[in-house]
Amino acid sequence: MAKSTRNSGKAWTGTDKSSLRQLAKGNTPTRVIGLKLGRTPAAISTKASEMGVSLKPVNQSPYNRRAK
């Protein structure tokens, strides 16, 4: 069972959604976003998916490739 957080089970407010967008845009890890918003990482992932917000870091190379 997931840990209970201060906002678990509560509806997402407009402020929560805008915070999620801003934090995701800044490449903040999902776990940290969850701590800041008082929600589980699973809830963050689900809501980001529903909103069409990508949680993948944009400044990292895929497949762990190194630049030559």
Instruction: Specify the higher pLDDT residue, 64 or 35.
Output: 35
Alpha-carbon gap, residue 38 to 65, rounded angstroms = 34
pTM recorded for the entire structure: 0.74
Segment holding 30, helix H or strand E: helix 30-37
For the chain, give every domain's residue range: 14-52
Q: What is the pLDDT of residue 43?
A: 93
Which range among 34-38, 47-51, 57-61, 64-68 shows the weakest confidence by mean pLDDT?
A: 64-68
In the predicted structure, residue 67 carries a pLDDT above the cut 80: no
